[in-house]
């Protein structure tokens, strides 16, 4: 049975018994009507009681401590500008330290700004994030999705993103918040996270899709330019509304003025407990699916050694589904990882500024704040051990990956290239896992030679990159602190009590050598049987620059391996598939032009044309796998009517 994150958090709140409305009138934030989940009388709670779920730190499976970085390992992002106090907490490390403009940032690192400070970060895909004062930004992984892309997390405060147009073969830029995920394709927008965990997304140009953590499988909420939408702390997305002004300073001050601090901390505690349980389930799902794929990969390798195409065709549908499921779960894990980190950052920020208000319940929250240091490290260890090898196999055994292989410079071995991976059944994918996963976003692309790093970027990738944040819509900056603050949560409040982490820090080691405690013994190693050469970046750049794009989606010729047959009857039931990557599904009567790209004995291609009555007036280049045609001459023209289901995209 699948349980939404919202229900998990609600259950956790009941179990903790410490979440809820406070009647402490000494709260300096003062405001009633807090927008945080869980509102019980703190007088009835035992604030010193540890969470029923056990030790949150031990549950992560890795110990604190940073990674050793290889000399040729490029950064996931770079701090390109900084003013005021700007600090970084490296992935796996419990404390913050000073950082300067020009310093590298790696996946899992967290950057924060002090009162009156600001920072600008440039990512490996040349997207830019501008961070306002008293804000925290996490650097996301490029390995969490099948198609590589940069990502970030707004854990607290405000950030503005100028996202580059997506290059062919690249995934959507992702921004995580404690309440949901923003998926973008080349856009300018701001993201705010209030002290309660409530978030808001405001779009200046382009459009974004937003998915709430309460139900990751729900239809995304689209936000167009000039509109904004709020995400409640419990993970639900409200309908977009008109957004004319860049009012981020006013929005944050107003949102934080409504927060009752004790209820906020209790809400974060409940969310952290639920997220910890969700992460355990999701990692178990990923382990199961990865093991399943490893077994299928071994069978595929046996088929390749024997030259048994039919055997590989039997394995391929299940292998494709396992790959899709693996990255779907990985997206779920990364979303929950950063949501966990966000709730912990907000709770710690409240404690550090208002220790006299929240001290009685801090013993409940503190172990989760310690664990928040470790979950991003756990994800990076998993990325090195599981996700990177799975991505290499994605380009060989997955239909979308096969299309994108050339665009990232991956050469598919000859035996596998002769067999086309079938379309993946999404229902089959979702049936493989217990956690809910979001729907793969449609990514609109533009031909571009810009680098798409399949694994770690080159060490000098940022040497020639020029930072280009979009101009603010107003004459002033995109963020302006209100002259008179109503809130007393974060902005304008001095830190009174430093949080002291209690995690034990181990020695640094290369990311690929760190292992998760327990659970690894049963893993079948992915990528051990089907070997893939390193990407050819030069060929990939040429392919991306020359790729044909129509309406933002890739158009490609479809090439098969078997003979094609011409139907004798004029009326034929067919399935027609558009090979533009990322397009939506279309059903109905369409005009179809089918071209057979396989040559005859003389090496000439046969043309097959079928004119179909259009319901939507769609014209696409397609392969019709269910229409058998015997080719007796170099060119054969056939006219007939065909009705069927049209699949557009992968």
Contact by Cβ (8 Å): 125, 406: no
CB burial of 279-310 (b: ≥16 within 10 Å; e: otherwise) equals bebbbebbbbbbbbbbebbbbbbebbeeeeee
Out of 203-217, 219-233, 455-469, pick the least confident.
455-469
Q: Is the pLDDT of residue 617 over 60?
A: no
Of residues 160 and 622, more confidently modeled: 160
Task: Please name which of 587, 578, 574 lies closest in space to residue 643, comparing C-alpha atoms.
Answer: 574
When computed from its CA atoms, the radius of gyration of the chain, rounded to whole angstroms, is 26
Tokens of 27: 């709260």
Tokens of 255: 């949102």
Tokens of 494: 């001095």
Burial of 471 per CB tally in 10 Å (0-12, 13-18, 19+): exposed
Report the DSSP pairing between strands 207-212 and 180-184: antiparallel
pLDDT at position 623 is 42
Helix intervals (H) in 383-421: 388-397, 399-405, 414-417
pLDDT at position 291 is 93
d(CA 600, CA 594): 16
Tokens 């020639």 sit at which residue? 464
d(CA 288, CA 519): 11
Contact by Cβ (8 Å): 257, 198: no
Of residues 637 and 368, more confidently modeled: 368
Q: Residue 284: in which H helix or E strand, if any?
A: helix 261-306
On average, the pLDDT of the chain sits at 81
How do residues 286-308 score in pLDDT, each as one tens digit? 999 999 999 999 999 999 999 99
d(CA 541, CA 649): 23
* Strand stretches in 93-220, DSSP E: 97-98, 104-105, 110-113, 118-123, 128-131, 136-139, 151-162, 173-176, 180-184, 188-193, 199-205, 207-212
pTM score, whole prediction:
0.80
How do residues 565-603 score in pLDDT, each as one tens digit? 333 333 333 333 444 444 443 344 333 333 344 333 334
Tokens of 363: 């013993």
DSSP state of 251: H
Give me the percent of the chain exceeding a pLDDT of 70. Answer: 76
d(CA 223, CA 562): 45
pLDDT at position 525 is 79
How do residues 58-84 score in pLDDT, each as one tens digit? 999 999 999 999 888 899 999 999 999
Q: Is the pLDDT of residue 10 over 90?
A: no
d(CA 441, CA 582): 8
């Amino acid at each position: 049975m699948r349980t939404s994150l919202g229900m998990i958090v609600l259950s956790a709140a009941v179990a903790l018994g410490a979440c809820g409305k406070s009647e402490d009138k000494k709260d300096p934030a003062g405001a009633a009507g807090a927008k945080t989940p869980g509102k019980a009388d703190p007088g009835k709670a035992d604030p010193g009681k540890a969470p029923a779920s056990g030790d949150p730190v031990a549950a992560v499976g890795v110990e604190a401590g940073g990674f050793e970085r290889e000399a040729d390992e490029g950064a996931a992002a770079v701090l390109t500008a900084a003013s005021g106090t700007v600090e970084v907490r490296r992935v796996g490390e419990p404390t913050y330290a000073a950082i300067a403009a020009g310093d590298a940032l790696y996946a899992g690192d967290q950057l924060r700004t002090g009162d009156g400070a600001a920072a600008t970060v440039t990512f490996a895909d040349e997207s830019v994030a501008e961070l306002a004062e008293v804000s925290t930004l996490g650097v996301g992984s490029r390995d969490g999705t099948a198609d590589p892309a940069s990502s970030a997390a707004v854990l607290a405060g405000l950030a503005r993103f100028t996202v580059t147009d997506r290059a062919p073969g690249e995934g959507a830029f992702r921004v995580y918040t404690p309440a949901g995920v923003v998926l973008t394709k080349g856009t300018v927008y701001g993201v705010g996270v209030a002290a309660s965990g409530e978030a808001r997304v405001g779009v200046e140009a382009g459009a974004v899709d937003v998915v709430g953590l309460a139900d990751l499988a729900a239809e995304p909420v689209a936000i167009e330019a000039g509109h904004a939408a709020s995400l409640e702390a419990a993970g639900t997305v409200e309908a977009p509304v008109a957004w004319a002004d860049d009012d981020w300073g006013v929005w944050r001050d107003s949102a934080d003025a409504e927060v009752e601090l004790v209820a906020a901390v209790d809400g974060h505690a409940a969310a952290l407990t639920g997220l910890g349980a969700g992460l355990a389930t999701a990692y178990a799902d990923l382990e199961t699916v990865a093991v399943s794929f490893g077994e299928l990969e071994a069978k595929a390798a046996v088929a390749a050694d024997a030259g048994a195409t039919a055997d590989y065709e039997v394995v391929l549908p299940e292998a494709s589904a396992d790959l899709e499921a693996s990255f779907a779960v990985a997206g779920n894990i990364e979303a929950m990882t950063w949501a966990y980190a966000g709730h912990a950052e907000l709770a710690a920020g409240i404690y550090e500024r208002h220790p006299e208000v929240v001290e009685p319940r801090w013993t409940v929250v503190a172990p989760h704040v310690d664990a928040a240091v470790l979950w991003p490290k756990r994800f990076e260890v998993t990325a090195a051990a599981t996700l990177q090898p799975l991505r290499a196999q994605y380009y060989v055994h997955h239909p979308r990956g096969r299309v994108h292989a050339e665009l990232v410079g991956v050469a598919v071995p000859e035996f596998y290239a002769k067999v086309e991976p079938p379309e993946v059944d999404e229902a089959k994918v979702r049936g493989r896992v217990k956690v809910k996963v979001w729907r793969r976003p449609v990514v609109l692309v533009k031909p571009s030679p810009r680098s798409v790093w399949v694994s770690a970027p080159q060490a000098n990738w940022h040497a020639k990159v020029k930072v280009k944040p979009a101009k603010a819509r107003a004459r002033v900056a995109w963020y302006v602190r209100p002259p008179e603050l109503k809130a007393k949560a974060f902005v304008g409040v001095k830190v009174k009590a430093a949080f002291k982490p209690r995690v034990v820090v181990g020695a640094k080691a290369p990311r690929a050598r760190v292992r998760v405690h327990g659970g690894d013994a049963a893993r079948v190693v992915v990528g051990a049987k089907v070997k893939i050469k390193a990407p050819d970046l030069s060929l990939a750049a040429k392919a991306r620059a020359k790729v044909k794009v129509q309406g933002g989606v890739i158009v490609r010729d479809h090439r098969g391996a078997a003979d094609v047959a011409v139907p004798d009857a004029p009326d034929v039931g067919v399935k027609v598939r558009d090979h533009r990557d990322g397009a939506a599904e279309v059903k109905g009567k369409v005009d179809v032009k089918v071209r057979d790209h396989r040559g005859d004995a003389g090496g000439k291609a046969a043309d097959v044309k079928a004119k179909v009555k259009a319901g939507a007036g769609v014209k696409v280049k397609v392969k019709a796998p269910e229409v058998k045609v015997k080719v007796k001459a170099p060119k054969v023209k056939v006219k007939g009517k065909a009705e069927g289901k049209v699949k557009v995209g992968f």
